[in-house]
Amino acid sequence: MALPHVPPIDAALEPKLRALLDGKAKPPGSLGRLEELAVRIGLIQNRLDPRIGRTDLYVFAGDHGLTQEGVSAYPAAVTIAMVGLFLSGRSSVSALAKAGGVHVRVVDAGVDADLPEHPEMISAKIRRGTRNAAVEPALSRDEVLTALLRGADIAREAAADGADVIALGEMGIGNSSSAALVMHRLAPAPLDDCVGLGTGHDAEGLARKRAAIAKAAARSDAAHPLDVLAEFGGCEIAMMAGAALGAASARRVILVDGFISTAAVLAAIRLEPAVLDYCVFAHGSAERGHPAMLRALGVRPLLDLDLRLGEGTGAALAAPLLVAAAHLLTDVADLAEVVAGPG
């Protein structure tokens, strides 16, 4: 099973994009990082007149056997309940997505339940939750590859249907523990720097979470991205990694949410380094490991709002900035027009 090929971005267009921005009716560089974002979008789309017409946000959902070790303050049943809330349009990400005209869909990557069909849900289940990574591999190598390919297909189908941006969100009780293990091996980073409060532990709960994650890490020395995803990953994390690969292969902007989505994209980048060029990181999460993971990738997020909910909430908030950045290149008058004046 071959993973998608990711074409490298052609940097030859960059000087033309920067010259075009510098020639607009504003002082050069006066719109700061928004101008950098405009250049990034132009390079991804390989055009001087990029457009961001539609953003599709996928909330990948999956359960984790590691919850048996008490790594979460909430029971695994909350994953199923939250999927229902997403589909009802009454979740946090649903509300924020409406503000930016973002289309939200749910992907059942590995929820531990048989979910009824719904027009806004993609059934792509790998298995009903992962195995307990503290005692055995969370997924088999074949399950990881299947998740990657299904994620890639979802992104490529969205691109073929007209999506200009593929935004990545997630839901899965226990998945901040899985993401911490992925970060630990693939950033790489010391394990203690990767483990945060997640869903809101008290001191006792955080100590229990740290012990369970350390137990899982000690069980395997996996370092290759596929092996790391198999030993410690989640169905939703592996499928998000595949979606990043698929979106990049289709030359679409990948809008990455917070800690867990970044861990998934980290795995995709370690598999195909060119994926990084297609990524825009929406926000800096308040989850402990996220700043270090962003530094390991050499990137800065667009927003800093102390978010740590997940779901794609940060991506939904950042999506209008991509539209604005593209409009800089297409809708702002050239300085020469202003200087010449009417007639």
Report, as residue numbers or ranges, the catalytic residues.
311
**The tokens of 244 are what?**
């990043």
Give the whole-angstrom CA distance, residue 21 versus residue 102: 27
Nearest to 255 by CA among 320, 327, 168: 168
The angle that helices 175-186 and 259-271 make with each other, rounded to 10 degrees, is: 40
Q: Please enumerate in sequence order all residues whose Cβ is within 8 A of that of 161, keeping only pairs 6 or more positions apart, or say none.
A: none
Of how many residues is the chain composed? 343
Helices (H), 220-299: 225-232, 235-249, 259-271, 290-297
Q: Please enumerate in sequence order all residues whose Cβ is within 8 A of that of 298, keeping only pairs 6 or more positions apart, or say none.
A: none
How many Cα atoms sit within 13 Å of 275 on the Cβ side? 29
| DSSP secondary structure, 17-65, as one string | HHHHHHTBSS-TTTTHHHHHHHHHHHHHHTSSS-----EEEEEEEE--G
Give the whole-angstrom CA distance, residue 205 versus residue 180: 16
What b/e readout covers 35-44, taking b as 16+ CB neighbours within 10 angstroms? bebbbbbbbb
How many Cα atoms sit within 13 Å of 168 on the Cβ side? 38
Q: Beta-carbon neighbour count of residue 332 at 10 Å?
A: 16
